[in-house]
Structure 1
Amino acid sequence: MATTTMSSAPGGHRKRSSVSSKLLQRWIMYCVAAFCIILSLAVILGGAAVLAIFLAYRPRGPRLDIPTATLNAAYLDSPGPSLNADLTFLANLSNPNRRIDLKFSYLQIDLYFQSTLIATQAVRPFAERRGESVLRNVDMLSSEVALPPDAANAWQNGTAPGGDGVSLRLMGKFRTRMVIGGWLRYTYWARVHCDLMVGPPPAGALLGRQC
């Protein structure tokens, strides 16, 4: 009896493999599309939530005011010239928000004359409830700070007896946490500044300010 051996056609196997590959690619495309849609919806909903919170609470950063300041001492050493000075002031840091508490974990105040940093001082951390203000006495000391010649001349003329005084800038950098509604917390860096005009030492009274 003659026996006939039948073998499967190679073309049929390749066809089934091609169909499976296309189905896998289509499934991957559907998954990627679904992920993109979900991610887009999450971004839209997150943005809407942030906008709703902003409109409901209207968060505002802290405000700095300097009601009093005194230039107690100031002189220039030569050669250099190098500045030595002592400035004290009362800092009034207020929370203007009606429904948001503020917490300050790091506070640094820098003192500039013209474009030169002449003193830096840290302030103890504290917290403020909505609408509150905190007063802090701050003493800024400059020791052997090198000044450019033009800045040294301006300082010498402004602080001489009968001089018109000197213009100083206070720059505050505060690590601030907003507590919104008692449950939502947002931490950021707040930056504030005040321009001061103080008279010659030792009286060195505050002649003007803009914060």
Structure 2
Amino acid sequence: MAEDHKHKGSGVRFRYTPRDTRRALFGCITIFLLGAGITALTVWLVYRPQKPRFAIVSVAVFNLSNTSPPPFLSTTMQFSIITTNPNKRVSIFYNHLSVSVLYHNQMITQPVTMPPLFQKQHSTIQLAPILGGGGAVPVSPEVCYGLGMEEAYGTVGLRLVVLGKLRWKAGAITTGHYGIYVTCDVLLRLSKGFGGQVPFIASPVCDVDV
């Protein structure tokens, strides 16, 4: 009777099927991913990155007026923005940042795209985007009326919005992209014949959501 297994000396030859090879490969990949995940989690817990802080230090208004025929708004202004990285061990990459100005939750300037930024640990960067100036923006009649009334009183409230993506960098590890949404409420005092930097009525307040 023929034997089912062939023997060579005292050893036994085992045949590995493609299924066994796939299982071994899958096991190696799983162990690698698990180890990488544990390493990333450990680094995250050790470094604990804090979200950046934003502040508006000055605003210059060169034009803020209704055009004829309404409802169109012509605007030219410049915001001086300070962004601070409070982390001592983590750097930040910013991508696809866009800045715009809203009045009563309606956009009154077209979004301006900022170049990519790299912010070192525990540092500050100043941005000074010029908004508007590229033609009139269509707005609702309520916005035209409201801005006209506030300008007549000499007090105008605006909201600066910054949208984009960021990545954290700790040593050799860089995270994936996270969305960043910044809103800064600004209350300005406008006098007749304004054409440059205008004073704040109250300190601007910026909220950062990552």
**TM-score, normalised relative to structure 1:** 0.72
Which letter does structure 1 place at the counterpart of 2:137?
Answer: V
Query: Is the aligned partner of 1:210 residue 2:205?
Result: yes
**How far did residue 164 of structure 1 move?**
3.6
Q: CA RMSD in A?
A: 3.1
Query: Is the aligned partner of 1:115 residue 2:106?
Result: yes
Unaligned residue ranges in structure 1 (runs of 5+): 1-22
Residue number in structure 2 paired with 1:154: 146
Residue number in structure 2 paired with 1:5: none
Which letter does structure 2 place at the counterpart of 1:169?
Answer: L
1:196 aligned residue (174, 186, 206):
186
Check the 8 A contact 2:79/2:128 in 1, yes or no.
Answer: yes
- SS at 1:53's partner residue? helix
**How far did residue 189 of structure 1 move?**
5.3
Moved more, 134-143 or 184-193: 184-193
Identity, in percent, stands at 16
For residues 98 and 136 of structure 1, do their structure 2 counterparts lie closer, same or farther at Cα, with a shift above 3 Å needed? same
Please give the alpha-carbon distance, in whole angstroms, between the structure 2 residues aligned to 1:180 and 1:190: 18
Name whichever structure is richer in helix by fraction. 1
**How far did residue 186 of structure 1 move?**
4.0
Please give the alpha-carbon distance, in whole angstroms, between the structure 2 residues aligned to 1:170 and 1:94: 17
Please give the alpha-carbon distance, in whole angstroms, between the structure 1 residues aligned to 2:181 and 2:128: 17
Please give the alpha-carbon distance, in whole angstroms, between the structure 2 residues aligned to 1:59 and 1:91: 22
**TM-score, normalised relative to structure 2:** 0.72
Check the 8 A contact 1:64/1:192 in 2, yes or no.
Answer: no
Greater C-alpha Rg:
1
Please give the alpha-carbon distance, in whole angstroms, between the structure 1 residues aligned to 2:106 and 2:123: 33
